[in-house]
Amino acid sequence: MVQNVQTGDSARLAMAYGPSATGPAALRSTATGLVVQLRMLDEHKAAKRGDTRERLLAIAEGAVLAKGFAGTSIDELIAAAGITKSGFFYHFKDKAELAKALLLRYLEHDQQVLDELFHRADELNEDPLHGFLVGLKLFAEMMANMTEVHPGCLAASFVYQDQLFNREVRELNAEGILRWRRRFRDRFEVIAKTYPPREGVNLDALSDMAATLIEGALILSRALRDPKIPSQQVMLYRDFVRCVFTR
């Protein structure tokens, strides 16, 4: 970039800014300015591309939760996003790639929410059991603050239609479920060192209970149009966990 300015644009710089603009220092300054401007332009374009991609993913997630992946067309997504079909394919080469991006986005957000909730809980209480119970209370409060029925779980909707997806997406979805199991199992193992669980309790099953309870609660909430159900179920799970680890 600097070389091109020094050798090709001297005359134009002199005409625009006077003879002093053709000196080495001036050329370096001009070149630096051009580089900065180009970088800013590239960053703006990247941000714009990112905004469009995120908008597409948000629209697609809403559509998939409302009527399933098979019932969601590329045409309706581009119409809702206000872009062309080529614009869609700039971000996703096909619908399979869209499915993978949707799931990755969902799982990342899912993990981030749980990380933040339980990190806050740990800061509030150092005791492993009480800290975990505080985390569940925060989770229940988050669900209770929803004024409308939760739209559902993207991962669950992908399971119901797994024949539509390739092996990579199915394995990614399964890994997301196992991540929940590992998250809760790790917590229970720490709790068990201080509070031995009741005899016969399987910690993997207790961990899976969290995911099954949440998914079931979302289904009931949507079917009965009652947004209070998920938070109520989380609180019952919290009570059950307390009973498992205390006498």
pLDDT bracket for residue 149 (50, 70, 90): confident
pTM of the predicted model over 0.85:
no
Smallest Cα–Cα separation from 116: which of 140, 143, 135, 129?
A: 135
The pLDDT score that the predictor gives to residue 50 is 56
Query: Which pLDDT tens digit goes with each residue over 202-229?
Result: 999 999 999 999 999 999 999 999 999 9
Residue with the bigger pLDDT between 154 and 33: it is 154
Query: Which pLDDT tens digit goes with each residue over 12-65?
Result: 334 333 444 444 444 344 344 444 443 444 433 433 455 999 999 999 999 999
Answer whether residue 115 shows pLDDT above 90.
Answer: yes
- What CA–CA distance (Å, rounded) separates 212 from 239? 16
Exposure string (b/e) for 157-170, b if CB count within 10 Å is 16 or more? bbeeeeeebeeebb
- At 156, the amino acid letter reads A
Task: Read off the pLDDT of each residue in 119-145 and give the average, rounded to a whole number.
Answer: 95
Residue with the bigger pLDDT between 191 and 50: it is 191
Query: Which pLDDT tens digit goes with each residue over 57-95?
Result: 999 999 999 999 999 999 999 999 999 999 999 999 999
